[in-house]
Chains A and B, each alone.
Chain A
């Protein structure tokens, strides 16, 4: 029973990990860059949902909370389009010297900027965002918190939609084409610049909606994104940079390792304390034994 309850918790958390990591993976696949501001995109989504949902509730205007979720996701998408246009597009098109270093610096600084802007603006306080579904669900002895299970179900639906979009729609196929070979894609008439903007927008909106779903569970504060971003980094390296399948599997592996690690480690002063650190172990093992990740393509160095 205990193990089953732990397993269910790991699956719930894993679905949320998968959602935010897919955004990172998509951005890497198409733009060939790691979005170091991913955690802060998550935080922005968390705050947007918090404010919208509180507004909906306090003005009792009858608007349902899922609408707040969708609106905040859309807002983060637009935010992503703007950021891409401001900081990434020109550097890419002008073929800025040392583009790789530039994008790392820019996204990292963007993260620091957003986090430290939120700090004085919203205060360091932890805010509770309203959950879409509260209460608990009981199946025999198994008790699951309502906010978690609802977040996991919504995350699952969004992931399913994303996969449908990527594999079944024209735009999604365009995105994957650019990810595989931008030159060939542009010869076939796909606008690479547009796809890059689109990928960045979708990528961080996935982080944003993950933040909106995590807000009711783990509270909203300016630094909430940092631990999740680190987990997302570990997941994409583990799964193979840019691999959709690898990212999903990697997310569940990390959630399992964290959950069971923190109860199976016999030392009680360390088991829980190191929960966020188990990821690094996975990261090091991956880099040592399978640097390209579980499903990544082996890249040879020139």
Chain B
């Protein structure tokens, strides 16, 4: 105690004093929240930010918004809810963004929307699927991707129509995974399909005991839903294949998480990935729109790879916010929200985006109801998702029905 402590205190204090201040207000700032470090889904976050960057560049090349340059403020949430809260606080109170877009984890979104709601700042969600996000009915929150109930009720209907009798769901005990289990149960059990479900921690690595149990179940399981993300999703596919459970002649396998769509998929699961089903929310170039062609070209030029659904969502997110600013001629929250809710109808990379005002069912509120959803099936080793067979919806289907593995 004494001088030394005082010096220390002053040191700590100084850290606060010389903090970086906010810039002058000659730019329009749009916040982008995304998981860019562990334990978040980094691949997803990066794709989202890359897509958003293309949008910002395009806007600035055509003169910006309201005569001002567009600046993206990118915040890393690491897939951690508290960090989402902190990043949102910083964006709103320190960076003074006009609107925030992005995010790929439902749990983090749930935290972020509270901040957005408190400060009345528009939040456009790119890639978080939990029903609760829009079901909460916050006027500030919009979503231009699917939600669990929308996509899995369609998938469940497809499963039933394809004639599967016993569906097993192993889901992670996150909001998303529990949602997957619930939607399948709700939609299939009523239709007379037997559903068995397990849930486990997101970090679970060994599913062998459960898979063995399913293997000797009666009636035999003919459809396995892998409701995990990250390593868990891939390990379950690998283990199910090694044990001779699925995907086999007798049992199909749907990898519900996004990891079935990343390049790392084939490295991990190897030949186990052939015949795996997946459900992407958007495929590049389907449906073909003017925007999607332009975007695909710009993205390839800048990043030297094919864009995926998430990158398209990132681009659409920034563009939707920009469109709302253009429509209302203002950056005030109230006007932006009004513009998105009532006036917005913008042709994006995946179709024409409008937000529903319907509150029944609750999750439909501020959701883009016509968001494209697909069920695809890999037919070859190391196949790119865009080359896989499309089973559903019918208008885009490339094959008649589910392809049964020979073995």
Contacts and interface: CB of A to CB of B under 8 A. Distances in A.
B200 A219 contact: no
A125 to B, nearest CB: 7
B149 interface: no
Given A1-B216, A219-B231, A9 B208 contact: yes
Contacts of A227: 203, 205
B37 A124 contact: yes
Contacts of B231: 126, 218-219, 221
Interface residues of A, number: 36
Contact of A269 (B173, B204, B208): B173
Given A145-B239, A275-B204, A6 B212 contact: yes
Interface string A114-140: 000001000111111000001010000
Contact of B234 (A5, A126, A146): A126
B42 interface: yes
B361 interface: no
A273 B174 CA distance: 11
Contacts of A103: none
Interface string B24-49: 00000000000001111011000000
Given A145-B239, A263-B210, A268 B39 contact: no
Contacts of A25: none
A5 B212 CA distance: 7
Contacts of B210: 262-263, 271-272
B60 interface: no
Contacts of A123: 38, 42
Given A2-B213, A219-B235, A262-B209, A126 B199 contact: no
Interface in B229-258: 230-231, 234-235, 239, 242-244
A23 interface: no
Contact of B42 (A2, A125, A273): A125
B330 interface: no
Contact of B212 (A9, A119, A147): A9
A109 B216 CA distance: 46
Nearest to A2: B216
A9 B209 contact: yes
Contacts of A119: 37-38
Nearest to B181: A269
Interface range for B: 35 or more
Q: Which of A146, A147, A218, A227 has the most CB of B within 10 A?
A: A218
A125 B42 CA distance: 8
A221 B170 CA distance: 22
B205 A219 contact: yes
A138 to B, nearest CB: 8
B242 A136 contact: yes
Contacts of B205: 218-219, 227
A126 B268 contact: yes
A155 to B, nearest CB: 16
Nearest to A264: B209
A269 B206 CA distance: 16
A143 interface: yes
Contact of B213 (A134, A222, A263): A263
B337 to A, nearest CB: 35
Contact of A268 (B197, B209, B230): B197
A272 B203 CA distance: 11
Q: Which of A221, A222, A268 has the most CB of B within 10 A?
A: A268
B198 A271 contact: yes
A58 to B, nearest CB: 12
A251 B210 CA distance: 21
Q: Which 10 A-B pairs have the closest CB atoms?
A: A124-B38, A145-B242, A272-B200, A126-B231, A218-B205, A128-B268, A2-B216, A273-B200, A262-B209, A263-B209
27 contacts: A2-B215, A6-B212, A124-B37, A124-B40, A126-B231, A126-B268, A128-B267, A136-B242, A136-B244, A145-B239, A218-B206, A218-B235, A219-B234, A260-B209, A262-B209, A262-B210, A263-B209, A263-B212, A268-B196, A271-B210, A272-B170, A272-B199, A273-B199, A273-B201, A275-B204, A275-B206, A276-B201
Given A9-B212, A145-B239, A147-B242, 12 more contacts: A2-B215, A2-B216, A126-B234, A136-B243, A219-B205, A219-B235, A268-B197, A268-B199, A269-B198, A269-B199, A272-B210, A273-B199
